[in-house]
Structure 1
């Protein structure tokens, strides 16, 4: 991002804030960047968590191994640019996810899942690069029944032209609507821009943001870099132009119906509900993932949410 003589980010009239993430190594060369929640912004529309996974390259025999863990009060959205993940959950679902596809898991009153590199991909080795998001559920749906839905890439709206490729992951944008069923008014899109290509983000929602995964983009002459989450002011029309080939996600929606509390993998409008979920996981009252014996224990004294 362009900076002034004090090395501080330049203020931009269309921007509410810019969240600059830092890379964290989780081991075996696997890196993540956490954009939400942050000290500057807790949520954008219903989005309460946003992680960039990778890019990483696993050697033969290596891979991702996220053991079974629980969620409540949210929907997880896994979307890959590269690689493959094998999802298993307590509903008995076993599903591979590949680039351009959507795994939408509604936790509701409680679900458990694991995310791993499948045996064939693990044996061969390969890359992994994508976005993991959590969408908070409206209060009236926080205790809904858990569910899992997979959407193939060719079922999602895809727009292409003038150096722009956009796949609408969820919600509605630019006159298109994704078949992914959501419980709140929102949008989520994967956008790739060729060098010098441009895109206009209209003011269709009150809360909007752009997370830049690769390349650089300019807004009115100000340059932004990979790993930055740009949160836009309500009502402003945003004209983006890629300085070089760029990959990003656009996300947002209408404001949530009140604040949300987070503890570990749990999200709720009620602190008491978080305590209940903690006790249930510790006592083994969540349904297990079939054919999985490992699990991630409840943190006894978890650190506070670490902001990048």
Structure 2
């Protein structure tokens, strides 16, 4: 199967825009509740079991910076246990969701300074200065979203975080680990078809945003683990030969030709440690679940 090169760039570079509108967010929330999708519940279990140690590792008076904050629900557990955090800086591309989440947090934590930034967090942005100077800046990047980056962009993004946090700063990050192929396959090909609906919703967004004419019933969801690249690949596969109008351009699909919509890289602990080191970080702490499916790691800026 080949990649649809004409659409690969906007799909791969703008996942927040094309996957995570209101419908996409609702579908993803349903995915996180599926029996097959181990990632979210495993990460939450680690947080619940290790939160005291995690909070102590981040230390007192830190400025917490969350990349891709969304509803900030996971962050509440951290904020409940951090010692005198100086400020919370949520960063998200969706302005409406960001402001609503920030308002809810300000009501729950009236003494905490909340400084939201509406931006694509992979771009350059100015970090606001808190009223109180913090002991150090700590970034938070949960959910194993780092796995959606290819290796080169992942290194670049981590280096950007290291630069933002500066010497003495750190990063608390979720990293999904390599495991049995069957477990990975089930996680991205659930029996209820929710992941398929989430993937196909991308075409609805493209029809709306780019005025394309995709017929959703002419494409099928296909996800598989590529062991040579250590990643899950999600595709939308053309079920027939067809022609799609994209602006003034017509793109012809052969039967079984696909759009490669997403990657999700899996790591060993050593592999991620090497990636972190190449971006200016040192792995200080690692917390695992009992099955070693998932890791939460604290990295310090070298």
Question: Normalising by the residue count of structure 2, what TM-score does the alignment of the two structures yield?
Answer: 0.25
Structure of greater Rg: 2
Richer in helix (by share)? 2
Which has the larger strand fraction? Answer: 1
